[in-house]
Amino acid sequence: MGAQALAHQAPPPLLDDIEEVLITEQQIRDRIAELGTQISADYAGKDPLLIGVLRGVFIFMADLVRAIAIPIEVDFIGITRYGPSTQTQGIVRLTKDLEINMQQRHVLFVEDIIDTGLSLRYILNTLQARQPASLRICTLFNKPRKRLFELDIAYTGFELPDRFVVGYGLDYEEGYRNLPFVGVLQEEAITRRRLPPNTQT
Ligand code: IMP
Ligand code: MG
């Protein structure tokens, strides 16, 4: 194989990069059905507004809204976070605002994963200032071990150990979001991903 061909060699299939599956596609599907039933009952007659943060939540949001049997509305915000997650003084900036006015609405804030809680604390402060009728949190995955703030989470899909996971919307350097389950990456995949795409080793 020539150098040119090598440089454009396709990376191995995504599945080969996974060391361990933590939550299967079926487990996710079953749990979301339960969450949807619970949310439908709790918010009946309230016409709730579901708000998610792009981009990690897009897959969970898509499945969650279809598990909800009452009228709802959906909107998204975007944020950028600077500095390592362990820094209590990390800076969060809003990069995309809501389209829908949330004043006097029953807002359910939907997250893919909560780790330190830093991003969420900033967002909650921002949203609370807009005077919703109520504001509660729903997260598919919760990693409580590194939590820096006390958070009242109304709906949790799964508690996860303090490991970095990918799949079902969660990324490692923008990759792996499209895996239908949640798993832990092989060390080798992490090293490879850190190299520029055309680097030959
Ligand atoms: P927090 O501000 O520390 O709670 O971080 C929450 C954000 O960090 C999530 O919305 C994810 O974007 C990212 N994150 C935290 N843990 C993981 C993980 O295990 N895999 C992928 N992304 C993660
Ligand atoms: Mg990410």
pLDDT of residue 194: 73
Closest C-alpha residue for ligand 1 atom 8: 115
Point out the ligand nearest to the CA of residue 166. 1
Residue range 26-162, CATH number:
3.40.50.2020
What DSSP string describes 51-120? EEEETTTHHHHHHHHHT--S--EEEEEEEEEES-TT-TT-EEEEEE--SS--TT-EEEEEEEEESSSHHH
pLDDT digits (tens, 9 = 90+) for 58-114: 999 999 999 999 999 999 999 987 765 545 456 788 899 999 999 999 999 999 999
Distance 27 CA to ligand 1 centre (A): 20
Domain range annotation of the chain: 26-162
Q: CA-CA distance, 117 to 201, in Å (whole number)?
A: 38
- Active site residue ranges: 115
Q: How far is CA 11 from CA 7, 122, 154, 170, in A?
A: 10, 37, 40, 19
Helix (H) or strand (E) holding 155: strand 155-159
Distance 166 CA to ligand 2 centre (A): 9
pTM for the complete prediction?
0.88
CB 139 within 8 A of CB 112: yes
pLDDT digits (tens, 9 = 90+) for 126-181: 999 999 999 999 999 999 998 988 999 999 999 999 999 999 999 999 999 999 99
More confident residue, 91 or 16: 16
